[in-house]
Structure 1
């Protein structure tokens, strides 16, 4: 019973929460840079709601809408330059994990003239600008984490910036923004959130508090994956997915992730698999490996998912995820495993995997 828990983000959850609680942005300043993608925030209504809230509070703004999937260093430096020119008081991220993570990096670069190497090494002097997060997918949990994940070409993978001041100061969660998401995006992001809560539960950094959050998240997302109709996802189900993702974000904000994320990153960087899908195809075999060290905790995960055994877990994931027609060579297996072995998070595992273990997980996941 020895632990710490830090969650400095003010959370507003519910329909129309952005406009109803706009006053929490007014105290952050008079100029905001909105960081988002090219089109989704315009289509789902989130951008209009944020602009209405800013107008209501007399806050001027500019929009940086160049964020791509898996944002690059070049993109966040462009955003940082616009924020400096605007002399922004705070940054608003609207979108999935990519815009939210990019917004955090832009918040750093708005006040720090540093190189990409210094950015990734957390060698900045001034605290980042405050960040407001408006998620429009239910997956990354970035609205409640101190992490920003960026694509770094010199490392040929995705790398994470971590900092206490990267927790968003305010997050607005409205399930309406997800009503138009296609099934594939809905499931991939949901499985990303599921991976967060499972990895956070199966780590030595787990606590009694994170266990409560993780099991609630796993149970909620698992039930929805079993019961959602791909052709008709209700607003209530969207809100539950968002709730499950929020809890999962709270979990990894305390525990970080494990080798599942580290092993999934090469599949995204080199093979272009969506992040949640990459994690999802690895989950069942990863659970089988972790069960060698902590079978009782893996069993609780299986039960929380509403499944009878690991085979049923695998069948559930196969049923909801898009089939992956991907076969890795022996050289790729070894290379991807070696890259994942560099992750600091492996030390958090109850039984840290070897490179051979990671190759086995890739192969057992049907990638050979």
Structure 2
């Protein structure tokens, strides 16, 4: 099998990588950037520190600083309006997945016009304005992926958009930007990365290149996520988590995610649960439902993450994997849907719609055990039942 791998043209990883923006712009022949970020990063001075070297180099850079969590078509349109009002040749996205996805979406609309709904899967996004991605969370992997998720303000559908045009031309991955991440954000984005790596490894589209990235990321996350949450100033753990997030992003960008992500997006859209957290809520139960259909791969994941011993049989390793994922959620304080505050009747009333949207994303078709609509409904019910048992 021949694997096709998509990556940014420039990928810089390590302390201080974010301060090489001037060089990256020069290498790419770009000179008129628009910074896309969120109000918190503006308030905390992140944007000012990023822009200081550009000012010194005589590069003018305006800013859209109103990105919102789980970007919507309304927020994308607001950013697009700012872009169209100026003469910009690229976007610099600073922040978590929301800012990066906003910039990606704007880059497509700026070049091709239309509405965001025109570009959701199964449409393929072939091109966009250049985006330079500078992540401030260790989780989404959006800096290296060919995907963006935008919520339709009218329908509340989380639309998955895919294509080579969504791959940033450069990614500056600087773990020092994550040192101030609070516990909940560290845990949720880290678990998002773990899902990326695990899903990429068991995906029907997995290949040897993505396997190596996925396994390395899983090992690092399992060994460092608890420390990163408990000791936010631990540079070793933060660096390991940031690198693993990028590796997990590379893995799933080129092998795809599976059922967890497919079921996660509707939860986020309908109940406003942060993306990494909704993945974490599903992780143990969806894994338990899937393991027998790729037992060797899932067992290898368990051993790689230290949840099972090398001498354990595959059957025992699978049991330990599910138990280990449940324990990891417990250790990191992941709330279940009920504890998060989702109304039981609202959850029940949304089951059919969530299952429809999950299937429409295409991700469940990559799962080792490919679900039908009713099986996804049953899985949502099981996640709720386990939460309240």
The answer to whether the superposition gives a TM-score over 0.5 is yes
Q: Cα offset for 1:300?
A: 1.3
Alpha carbons of 1:349 and 1:231: their partners in 2 closer, same or farther (altered >3 Å)? closer
In the alignment, what sits opposite 2:267?
Answer: 267
**Structure 1 stretches of 4+ moved >3 Å:** 119-127, 226-229, 326-335
Is 1:317 paired with 2:340?
no
The answer for the alignment partner of 1:230 in structure 2 is: 230
Greater helix fraction, Structure 1 or Structure 2: 2
CA separation in 1, counterparts of 2:123 and 2:267? 29
Match of 1:151 in 2: 151
Q: Is the CA contact (8 Å cut-off) linking 1:111 and 1:126 kept in structure 2?
A: no
The 1-side partners of 2:91 and 2:56 are apart by 17
Alpha-carbon displacement from aligned partner over 1:306-334 (angstroms, at most 9, x marks no partner): 21302122111221133231464443334
**Equivalent residue number for residue 59 of structure 2:** 59
8 Å CA contact retained: 2:107, 2:130: yes
Match of 1:341 among 331, 346, 359: 359
Q: What's the counterpart of residue 188 of structure 1?
A: 188
Query: Is the 2:7–2:250 Cα contact (8 Å) retained in structure 1?
Result: yes
Relative to the length of structure 1, the TM-score reads 0.92
CA distance in 2, matches of 1:355, 1:113: 34
Q: Does 1:363 align with 2:364?
A: no
How far has the Cα of 1:134 moved from its partner?
0.6
SS of the aligned residue for 1:341 comes to helix
Q: Relative to 1, partners in 2 of residues 1:78 and 1:250: Cα closer, same or farther, differing over 3 Å? A: same
Tell me the CA shift for residue 183 of structure 1.
0.2
SS in 2 for 1:171: strand
Alignment of 1:64-75 (within 5 A): 64-75=64-75
Structure 1 residue 151: Cα displacement: 0.7
Aligned equivalent of 1:218: 218
For 1:139 and 1:244, the matched residues in 2 are separated by 8
Partner of 2:38: 37
TM-score (structure 2 length as normaliser)? 0.88
Instruction: Note the 1:168-179 alignment, pairs <5 A.
Output: 168-179=168-179
Could you tell me how far apart the structure 1 residues matched to 2:119 and 2:52 are?
Answer: 33
Which residues in structure 2 correspond to 1:45-194 (within 5 Å)? 45-120=45-120, 127-194=127-194
Change (3 A) 1:364 1:233: farther
Is the contact between residue 365 and residue 371 of structure 2 (CA under 8 Å) also seen in structure 1? Answer: no
Distance in 2, Cα, partners of 1:89 & 1:39: 25
- CA apart distance, 1:96: 0.2
Shift of 1:65: 0.8
Q: Structure 2 CA distance, aligned partners of 1:88 and 1:110?
A: 10
The number of residue pairs the alignment matches comes to 367
Cα drift, residue 215 of structure 1: 0.7
